[in-house]
Structure formats: C-alpha cells, structure tokens
Structure 1
Amino acid sequence: MAALGKLSQALLRSSFGQTRRQLSAAASAGHAENASRTWKILSFVVALPGVAVCMLNMYLKMQEHHHEQPEFIPYSHLRIRTKRFPWGDGNHSLFHNDHLNALPGGYEGHDE
C-alpha cells in the first residue's frame, strides 16, 4: 500500500512538473522577446545619442583648451633614474611627450 502511495505521488509530481515547465517556458519566451526589444530601443534612443553627446563635448573642450608647458623646477626627488628604461635611449618613458614630460635635465628642445 505504501508503495502505491509513493508511486502516485511520483506520478503527480512529474505531471505537475512538466506542466509547470511548459508554462514557465512559454512565459520566459514572451519575456525574452519583450526584454530584447526594450534593450534594443534603449540602445538606439539612449546609449548612442549619449555617446555622441560625450564625443561632441570632448571635441569642443579640446578645441578651446591650449596646453602651456609648465615651468621646469629641478626637484631632487622627481625624475630619478636608477635604472634605464628598456626602450629607446633609456631616458624617455614609454609614452613620452616632448611638450609636457620633462627629462632630468629639463624639457627637450629648449635652450635655456
């Protein structure tokens, strides 16, 4: 008798489980369709114009900004070279900018 009860409970669970899975699969398919459509609309309406506005802002800021070379002050604790850089002449950093990055002796190209 106990075996019959366990068998009937197992059959009920499997039939309810299949129905529940079918319903959840149908609901998730509709939800996925709506979610992908929503994200697609948000991408075109919010993200792309936001990127365009940021690019325009940076371009306008770049146009009005003029870099002036800072005054070279030979502080003893700055630009210490205990070991040569492994590229070039060993004195320039990897992303060296002649106008903004000073060498231990001063800026390049200035005879002061």
Structure 2
Amino acid sequence: MAMSPTAMVARRALAAASQGSHEGGARTWKILSFVLALPGVGVCVANVYMKMQAHSHDHPEFVPYPHLRIRTKPWPWGDGNHSLFHNSHTNPLPTGYEGPHH
C-alpha cells in the first residue's frame, strides 16, 4: 500500500520536529546549571558563612531535665557514660557539659 503525498509530508514533518526538539536539551541544561545552580550554591555558602559568624560558641545553659540522658545501663565502650559518637563540645553528660567551658 503506497502512502499518499500528504501522509509522507506529515511523517517527515513529525520526524523533523521530534528530532529538532531534542537537539538543544544538553545546551539548555548546561545554561541552567551555570545560571541557576552555581549561583544557588553560592547563596547557600554565603548563608552558612554568615550563620557561622553570628553563632555563639558558648554552651547553652544546662538544665538537668529528668527525662533526658537516662542511663539504665552503661554504654559497652569507654567509661560507659559517653555515647559512641559523643562530642564534648555539644553533647552534655547527665551531670552537665565537660571541659573548661562549663
């Protein structure tokens, strides 16, 4: 069965349109990366830097709430009072913060 000339023209037009719509995809994403993504990362870095500058490095006041830092049995490592990922600058023990920054 032979195609009519109109159908052949329509098929060529659809093929050309579908091929042409995908040619600029990589270029579009490259432009979006430079115009949107990189400045967005820059704004995030600036925000973190400003928050670090304004952040106080003092401990908050320790309040020994009875429902926090409950030890029913000691941890199986170290002295039994420090968690595995204990950070003495940010994590208080049941008795308060350790070190000279009380």
TM-score calculated relative to the size of structure 1 = 0.64
1:38 to 22, 28, 34: 28
Gaps of 5+ in 1: 1-7
AA of the residue aligned to 1:105: T
> Structure 1 83/31 Cα, relative in aligned 2: closer, same or farther at 3 Å?
farther
Identity of aligned residues (%): 65
Write out the 4+ residue segments of structure 1 that deviate beyond 6 Å after TM superposition: none
Q: Partner residue of 1:71?
A: 61
Report the number of matched residues: 96
Cα displacement (A) at 1:87: 4.7
Distance of aligned partners of 1:37 and 1:80 in 2 relative to their CA distance in 1, 3 Å threshold:
same
SS of 1:78's partner is: coil
Contact 1:70 1:100 in 2 (8 A): no
Structure ranking higher on relative contact order (CA contacts 8 Å, 6+ apart): 2
Structure 1 residue 82: Cα displacement: 2.5
Structure 1 counterpart of 2:94: 104
Alpha-carbon RMSD: 2.8
Summarize deviations over 1:66-109 as a string: whole Å, max 9, x none: 13211222221110123444554442234322122111122112
Task: Please say which of residues 90-99 and 70-79 is displaced more in the overlay.
Answer: 90-99
* SS state at 2:24 partner: helix
Which structure has the bigger radius of gyration?
1
C-alpha distance in 1 between matches for 2:99 and 2:24: 62
Cα deviation digits, residues 53-74 of structure 1 (max 9, x gap): 2101211221222132112222
Q: Which runs of 5+ in 2 are unaligned?
A: none
- Equivalent residue letter for 1:82: T
* CA gap 1:88/1:40 in 2 versus in 1, 3 angstroms: farther
